[in-house]
Amino acid sequence: MTIASNNSVVFLMGPTASGKTELALEIFDRFDVNLISVDSALIYRGMDIGTAKPSPEILANYPHALIDICEPEETFSVNHFISLAKEHIALALQENRLPVLVGGTSFYFHALEHGLSELPESTKDSRKHFNDLLKNKGSEKLHSQLIKIDPKSAERIHPNDSQRITRALEVFHLSGQTLSELQGNKTINKLDHQIKKIILKPDRSELHQRIEKRFMKMMESGFLDEVEILRNNKKLNLDLASMRCVGYRQAWKYFDGVYDKQEMTDKAVIATRQLCKRQSTWLRNENNALILKKANIDEVINFLQ
């Protein structure tokens, strides 16, 4: 089935474990589309089980752009994501195919839609400085510092979201201006297309069950073996963005002897549920979207046509 793209793109969004991939495959079967991943974990090669990456068989039959595009030790910025995503969107439209961007990284979707602020680039020294602070003080104490410096950003950022807390503090350290001040003027790289949003958002209780069931399946599929291989890479450590992905950090600490297996499992499930909550909170602010509690391809077809 063909839908005239009319220079439009589809955002297929939802919290983790909501069933976005399965719905994306159904859309692929019905329409002439190009799938583009919007997931800050699926970009990493060798991180397959713990990220719930689609299997090689699925990716062979349902190609997704922006999966397996960098090594876990490499840095990957939102600017880089936007640049690559726009390239793949343009390619799809040139082929008269509908670009469907699917994933759970709300920050990437938001940056694509609204543009980016001119934020200072991280430096090696600044990253080390704030990673050391995080180790010594913990995310909650750093969040308390952020409240004093930039209360607007602190209100939006969860006290356990160490990556965003340290970035907000780093921005102030490098520029002398707060993150909320600099984000007030978002003009860079804004996506110049009509956006049709589909949000897949099951009830919270169902999501919690799915998250636990999925993690148990990951464990059965060899997740700990995957993490052990990653730990053998001397370039990797817990300060890297890749190792902050939910599940990986907890499994790494299991191998360090910090947690036993049950503690690791419990903490990984809790961390994933916290991620789910943050994603769901962000999605509540989305307007003019088709919101589905369950994947329904007929409703999607009606919406897109």
pLDDT tens string 111-129: 999 887 778 888 888 888 9
Strand (E) or helix (H) holding 88: helix 78-94
Query: 3-24: per-residue pLDDT in tens?
Result: 555 689 999 999 999 999 999 9
- Determine the pLDDT at residue 103: 98
Answering whether pTM is above 0.75, one says yes
- In order, the DSSP letters of 229-269 are HHHT-TT--TTSSGGGSTTHHHHHHHHTTSS-HHHHHHHHH
Write the DSSP assignment of 145-214 as a string of letters.
HHHHH-HHHHHHS-TT-HHHHHHHHHHHHHHSS-HHHHTT---BT---SEEEEEEE---HHHHHHHHHHH
The answer, yes or no, to whether residue 186 has pLDDT greater than 80, is no
Kindly indicate the confidence band of residue 143, based on its pLDDT and cuts at 50, 70 and 90: very high
The Cα 279–Cα 14 span in angstroms is 7
Q: Tell me which DSSP letter residue 67 carries.
A: S
The tens digit of pLDDT for each residue in 44-95 reads: 999 999 999 999 999 999 999 999 999 999 989 888 999 999 999 999 999 9
Predicted local distance difference test score (pLDDT) of residue 77: 87
Give the amino acid at 105. Answer: T
pLDDT score, position 1: 63
Establish how many alpha carbons lie within 13 A of residue 98's alpha carbon, considering only the half-sphere containing its beta carbon.
27
Q: What is the pLDDT of residue 19?
A: 97
Rg (CA), the chain: 19
What average pLDDT score do residues 215-236 get?
Answer: 98
CA distance linking residue 21 with residue 53, whole number of Å: 9
**CA terminus-to-terminus distance, the chain:** 10
268-302 pLDDT, tens digit each? 999 999 999 999 999 998 888 999 999 999 999 99
Distances (CA, A) of 296 to 7, 19, 80, 141, 218: 25, 11, 33, 44, 26
